[in-house]
Amino acid sequence: MGVINVSPDSFSGDGLRDIKSAVALARNMTVDGADIIDIGGESTRPGTSPVTVDEELRRVIPTIQQISREISIPLSVDTYKLEVALKALDAGASMINDIWGLKKSPELARLAAERKVPIIVMSNQRDVSPLHDIVFPDIMAWIIADLQRALDQAQQLGVPWDNIIVDPGIGFGKTTEQNIEILNKLEQLQKLGRPILLGTSRKSLIQSVLNLPPDDRLEGSAATVAIGIARGADIVRVHDVASMTRVCRMSDAIIRGK
């Protein structure tokens, strides 16, 4: 899954301000091996202010409309706002990526059910750990319980089991040590029975270990992707598609015999 941020304050320094740049990046990602492209208009950087629905729509909808005309791979909309998700699906998206795992807008699940599209539910601890400093006694148990809650909620609102993807939420309310523990124990999420999405690309976890700025975290991202695949990740959400496609293919050859 390639990442396109149409937000000027993206944590990773890759925010785009115009549709032409986003379309060009989408084309390149497709050539470089992306299977899905995730488009978001609100930064998830800690401490950033939420954008209004109108502003998020202004950033995201024209971008999705144009990219969907140019490329054929599925587009995902990265939003927790119902109106944005609805208009994004009308514009050409075919997947919803909810970083709040239905906590803020359960109706996203009903929308996914009605439109028959997949939904990604993420375990986000920023509601209880906004400063990423709460030490959970058993972070994996906490995440599994949270994702099970989201899975149950999605099914109750009509989403077919096969259309749900889970994400442990690396970096969202967790400490560096907890993020590392999640990577090491990622296979525990397989008990949920759903595909696992892993998003570690350029995140502060890498900065904490290597002390590098966002645009110099390629090798650190590659290490987390390879280990994530070894621990059971099925989808990896990345900024550097060409390099990470090679990491994925090599990891698959070694670990899964593909």
Q: Which candidate in 59, 103, 202, 237 is catalytic?
A: 237
Q: Is 203 a catalytic residue?
A: yes
Q: Which candidate in 202, 203, 217, 231 is catalytic?
A: 203
Q: If you ran DSSP here, which 8-state letter would residue 50 be given? A: P
Closest Cα partner for 153 from 143, 138, 164, 162?
Answer: 164
For the chain, how big is the Rg over CA atoms in Å?
A: 17
DSSP SS3 for 245: helix
Domain segments of the chain as ranges: 2-255
CATH architecture assignment, domain 2-255: Alpha-Beta Barrel (3.20)
Give pLDDT < 70 ranges for the chain. 9-15, 17
Q: What pLDDT is recorded for position 28?
A: 97
Q: Does residue 11 contact residue 43 with C-beta atoms inside 8 Å? A: yes
Q: What pLDDT is recorded for position 244?
A: 98
Q: What pLDDT is recorded for position 192?
A: 98
Q: What pLDDT is recorded for position 173?
A: 96
Q: What pLDDT is recorded for position 45?
A: 77
Q: What pLDDT is recorded for position 11?
A: 54
- How far is Cα 227 from Cα 184, in angstroms, rounded to an integer? 8
Q: What pLDDT is recorded for position 46?
A: 75
Q: What pLDDT is recorded for position 8?
A: 79
Amino acid (1-letter code) at residue 192: L
Q: Is 87 a catalytic residue?
A: no
Pairing of strands 164-167, 197-198: unpaired
Q: What pLDDT is recorded for position 18?
A: 86
